[in-house]
Amino acid sequence: MKVTVLGCGPSQGVPVVGNRWGDCDPENPRNRRSRPSILVEDNGVGILVDTSPDIRGQLLDNDIRRVDAVLYTHLHYDHVGGIGELRTLSYLANRRIDIYGTADVMAGLRMLWDYLFEADKSDDSRLYKPVAKANDIEYGAPFDVHGVEVTAFRQDHGICDTAGFRFGKFAYTTDAAVLEDDAFEALRGIEVWIVDCLRDDPHPTHAHFERTLQWIERVGPRRAIFTHMNFQADYETMRAKCPDGVEPGYDGMILEIG
């Protein structure tokens, strides 16, 4: 399995508009963070998790030409804003792209971007045709994505639930302030975990450095990588504080998972 970190930044990215770098060293390219999304590739299947507003550039920068499915964690703009790129991905695949999310997430996507899912009633062949196929999922119930088994688990984002996803020995957690026992049970036995860590100080909707380390200690992966880091999280400063096996992520990071 190969996992590419397409973006590991917060809702506003780093730097924030206005060229605001905060505590991040602008000379370090690993501090330049686009909005969060990853690509999981397993047995020839490419699965995106979220389509951030930066997804077009992320796909180009990483020379990604095939996506078979998209999993959505929740409906916030920094995770769905690039959904229009499904038109291009569908064209490249020559079929509709399978989309997966909980029932409320799928209902929201279909309401906001109905043209991606519903056939146009016009007979005008020049109009765009549907490019996405909706698939509802439930927390705790494994589901099949083109031959890849995935399990979603519930996370508390403070203002809404979000979905974390497990793929075999790898798991992805973003936008989580609290994890309940069911989530930790779903994470049992993973080896690699990309996990939310916004900054040092506590935040009502995201994990912070100390809480994330507590989660990592409880789960016990051999390797953990921070994501969704804001402009208060300098790469080198954070890396220097991390224990063995834990590190901040960066855009373009590639993980090979056996």
Whole-number pLDDT of residue 258: 82
Whole-number pLDDT of residue 75: 98
Per-residue pLDDT band at 125 (split at 50, 70, 90): low
Using the predicted structure, report yes or no on whether residue 119 has a pLDDT greater than 80.
no
Can you tell me the distance from the alpha carbon of 153 to that of 142, in angstroms, rounded to the nearest whole number?
10
Contact 40, 3 (CB under 8 A): yes
Average pLDDT, the chain: 96
Contact 234, 25 (CB under 8 A): yes
Whole-number pLDDT of residue 205: 96
Give the residue, 116 or 124, on which the prediction is more confident: 116
What is the percentage of the chain residues whose pLDDT exceeds 90? Answer: 94
Residues near 18 by Cβ (< 8 Å), separated by ≥ 6? none
Global confidence as pTM: 0.96
Mean pLDDT of 84-105: 96
- Helix/strand/coil for 156: strand
Per-residue pLDDT band at 132 (split at 50, 70, 90): very high
Mean pLDDT of 168-183: 98
Can you tell me the distance from the alpha carbon of 58 to that of 55, in angstroms, rounded to the nearest whole number?
5
> Could you tell me where the beta strands, DSSP code E, fall in the chain?
2-7, 37-42, 45-49, 69-71, 97-102, 132-137, 143-145, 148-156, 161-167, 170-173, 192-196, 223-227, 246-248, 254-256
Per-residue pLDDT band at 118 (split at 50, 70, 90): confident
Residues near 113 by Cβ (< 8 Å), separated by ≥ 6? 83, 84
Tens digit of pLDDT for each residue in 15-31? 999 999 999 999 999 99
